[in-house]
A = this chain, B = another copy of it.
């Protein structure tokens, strides 16, 4: 058998596997995103050795007709894009400085919109949270109500999407490792800076003063950042 014949036989074999695979897929009419049988099963079913089958599969993958993934299988269609909105995924790629920067960027604007959109029930809820922070005798309790206050402001925007984004930010914040940054006095101080800042913030929202509400929130968060991370980088 000559070299030429040899080569033609090889081509025939691989092309045969590809043709057989295509015929198989055409006959089955798999819907999109269907997982087709594992390679080892397809080998037996099509009567082709695995190497030839994988070459045929590689052709179809290059054409974008299928996509494969180790451990999962081979699927009809194109590979879906990764949805990496997972809180754990994000929090593993951020740090306290970024979290504070994000809060400083978003929450003042939430307060501004809340001043426009808050209902009186929203404002009552904020004032309730403030009262609770003032009577808290433990930091754990204080922080719980401080959390609720900030969420109440996000909710007062009356925008479900903004509220969802705030919740995501909040979950990342709570999942972030703050280490020694959060060490503080054993019990909340009656003269704690946040009390006056919270009062001014909610008062601005109640007065529908959008600019002042944003400014109060920014001032409050900058105080928090200064306490946590030290003085700001640009010194304002």
Contact residues of A with B, CB < 8 Å?
32-33, 64-65, 76-78, 80-81, 83-87, 90, 93-94, 98-99, 101-102, 105-106, 109-110, 113, 140-141, 143-144, 147, 159-162, 164-165, 167-172, 174
Contacts of A141 in B (CB 8 A): 64-65
Given contacts A65-B140, A90-B164, A110-B105, contact A171 B81 (CB under 8 A): yes
The contact of A98 among B85, B161, B167, by CB within 8 Å, is: B161
The contact of A161 among B32, B102, B109, B159, by CB within 8 Å, is: B102
Most chain B CB within a 10 A radius of its CB, from A76, A78, A99, A171? A78
Distance A90 CA – B93 CA, assembled complex (angstroms)? 23
Distance in Å: Cβ of A120 to nearest Cβ of chain B: 20
By secondary structure, the A interface counts as helix
**Known pairs A64-B141, A90-B160 / 18 extra A-B pairs, C-beta < 8 Å:** A32-B140, A76-B140, A78-B144, A81-B167, A81-B170, A83-B171, A84-B168, A85-B85, A85-B164, A85-B171, A93-B164, A94-B160, A98-B159, A98-B160, A102-B159, A102-B162, A105-B110, A109-B109
Distance A158 CA – B86 CA, assembled complex (angstroms)? 19
Contacts of A80 in B (CB 8 A): 171, 174
Q: Are A101 and B168 in contact (CB under 8 A)?
A: no
Q: Are A113 and B105 in contact (CB under 8 A)?
A: yes
Contacts of A147 in B (CB 8 A): 78
Contacts of A94 in B (CB 8 A): 159-161, 164
The contact of A168 among B85, B93, B113, by CB within 8 Å, is: B85
Contacts of A110 in B (CB 8 A): 105
Contacts of A90 in B (CB 8 A): 160-161, 164
Given contacts A106-B109, A109-B106, A141-B65, contact A169 B161 (CB under 8 A): yes
Distance A110 CA – B104 CA, assembled complex (angstroms)? 11
Q: Which residue of B lies closest to A106 (CB)?
A: B106
Given contacts A85-B85, A93-B160, A174-B80, contact A165 B102 (CB under 8 A): yes
Contacts of A101 in B (CB 8 A): 113, 159, 161-162
